Structure formats: structure tokens, C-alpha cells
A = this chain, B = another copy of it.
């Protein structure tokens, strides 16, 4: 029934290629099927002004999509001179999600910026970005620990994200572009390895949904995130 032939609770292939680029303190190319996001983690000593001298660090994110990551070419945001509302919404979500598993005191006065750039898009770019950002962040933090720049590990656990939606009446996991553009409702869940929720966002697109549907989507997300946690563990091993 799904255009891709997947079962309703089946993720696309998860691929994680750590150390994809050389200069960043952490770097990864993550794929959920044909969705490919390059995430780099950059460590800097310079904090945002409102955090200086407070004995803590900061984790933030920026998100971009290459103009031809998509089926038809989109405008380059740098050329248009501003980031879209969608871009800003996504990068705020990524930042919050990673901060949910970071002890900012233990991070010390470092800022880590997660740059998430979509190389190829086929649905679920923001959830792939969050899931990859954890790997990049883990690698960057490993470096800080190894270099003795911080004493204790500020990352409390893994975080991952996946989209779900109601497609032709059926809740399905990990929407690809074909499904996403026709779903009645779609949701993004950011989950922690301990089962807790960092963020739940479920939006009616062509039809509103009920509480039961919300719960079924959440359960699909748990299945997907477990796969992602396993892939993350393998990537940083």
C-alpha cells in the first residue's frame, strides 16, 4: 500500500557515515533512504552574549537545504537574503532537541554549532538532521574529553527523531516525500533512549486526527527511533 512497498512500521535504510568531512570537530553524513543530510559539529570558545560568564556552554543548530536537493530547484536562501520560516522553525527544533540531552554546565564555556545541510531530500530531513546531529555532537564531545578541555561527559543519553503520519487512513512510520505530500496528518517525534519525549509535533494536513491516532503515531516513532539508536551506537563505536 505504501508507494515504496514498505510495511507501515518499517523505517527506510538508515546509513550513517561518520567523519564525512575533515575540518569539523564532528561530522557525519546520515541517510534515511534517499534523504541525505550532512551534519557538522563546530566547537568554539565564543558564546552568545547572554551566556558569557555564566559557567556553562551552549548547543545550537543551523539548517539549510541545497537548492537542488529537491525534485525541483528551490531558491537559494543566501541569494534571497533571508531564511524561510520553515528553515528557522526547523533549526530551532534541532537545537532544542540536542540541548535536551546535554548538560550545559558540564559542557563548560564552549559553544557547539550543528550545521545540518540537506544534500538530497526525500522527506524527513529534519528528523534525519536531529538523528545525525547527535552523532556529530557525540564525536565533537569525545574530542573535548580526549583533549582534556572538559572533565565529565555532558551528553546524558542518545536522542533521535523520526516522522510518522496518517497515509490513506493508516498510520505509517518514516514518511518519504510521496507519502509526506499526501498525508492526512504528519508528526515528528524527538525521543530519548530512555523512552522519554523531548518534542512531539503532530499536525493535521488534510484531515484532523484523534487521540488514538496520536498514540499510534507515537508508538510507531518508538519503533523507528530504536532502529536509529542502534545505528547511532554503531556509528560512534
Contacts and interface: CB of A to CB of B under 8 A. Distances in A.
Interface string A64-87: 101111111100111101111111
A88 B84 CA distance: 8
A199 to B, nearest CB: 5
Nearest to A91: B85
B76 A21 contact: no
Chain copies in the assembled complex: 6
Contact of A78 (B22, B78, B211): B78
Contacts of A83: 78-79, 85
A117 B64 CA distance: 12
Contacts of A127: none
A113 interface: yes
Given A64-B78, A115-B68, A208-B100, A200 B201 contact: yes
Contact of A66 (B34, B70, B117, B197): B117
A204 B100 contact: yes
Interface string A3-33: 0000000000000000001111001000000
Interface in A119-166: 119-121
Given A85-B88, A208-B192, A42 B21 contact: no
12 contacts: A21-B36, A22-B120, A62-B76, A64-B76, A78-B78, A79-B83, A84-B88, A88-B88, A196-B210, A200-B201, A200-B214, A211-B218
